[in-house]
Amino acid sequence: MSILDGRVAVVTGASSGIGEACALAFVGKGANVVLAARRTERLESLVARIEAMGGEALAVATDVTDEAAVQNLFNSAVARFGTVDVVINNAGIADSTAIDEMSLETWHQVIETNLTSAFLCSRAAFRVMKGKGRGRIVNIGSISARVPRANSPAYAASKWGLDGLTRSLAIDGREFNIAASIFHPGIVATEIAPGAVKLPENFAASPEDIAGVIVHMCDLPDHLNFYEGMVVQIDLPFLGRG
């Protein structure tokens, strides 16, 4: 039996891509899921799929950059399922804008969506998890947190910041048995892909492949933490980029 059986996972950015695949993978492990995104129709459709699988899910329309909306998300999760055990901070956007062409509005949008949202959700998660003495938070980073892509200053800054936030959460969570970790995907076939580089056919990983690893990181005894993970294509020019 999976450790996740009967536990409650909040997944942001759950209306498509990695978030949607994570939600389905958690349900496959017996977890209950709380789905957060702005696209309500997609969330409701995913709930219907999960219920058809025999699982339980709650859709909460959420702008994860909004403090009140995030608090409502966690209040709704606790009201429905009684607690929150796992949080997947997956919501994010990509951007490929040169620094001299980037507006302040774009900068704020990327930072708030990719980084501030993780702060807000992690803060809300800590407030639930500290009282019960366990919990797990996984932030979805990027290989741009190791080697940035050209012409992506806001995206790179947000993912490097997310890495720093994760390290801080991991330290602050130790006293309360809250594990914080980060997963860095390579090229994934999702709507977020910026299309900055032409890729060979069938080069990108599927969201399901990535979700399988993320859920595996969560399917551990409470005293263990799979702190950092990364999945990249074998021939991805990662270290040299290109």
Q: Are 149 and 241 in contact (CB under 8 A)?
A: yes
Q: Are 190 and 211 in contact (CB under 8 A)?
A: no
- Main-chain phi, psi angles of 103, to 5 degrees: -85, 155
Indicate if 155 belongs to the active site.
Answer: yes
Q: Catalytic: which of 155, 157, 166, 215?
A: 155
CA 21-26-28 angle, 5° bins: 95
CA–CA dist 196, 61 (Å, integer): 30
CA–CA dist 187, 26 (Å, integer): 22
* Six-digit token string for 110: 């990327």
* Six-digit token string for 226: 């799979």
Amino acid at 12: T
- Main-chain phi, psi angles of 32, to 5 degrees: -90, 145
DSSP state of 179: E
Q: Are 87 and 121 in contact (CB under 8 A)?
A: yes
Residues recognised as catalytic: 155
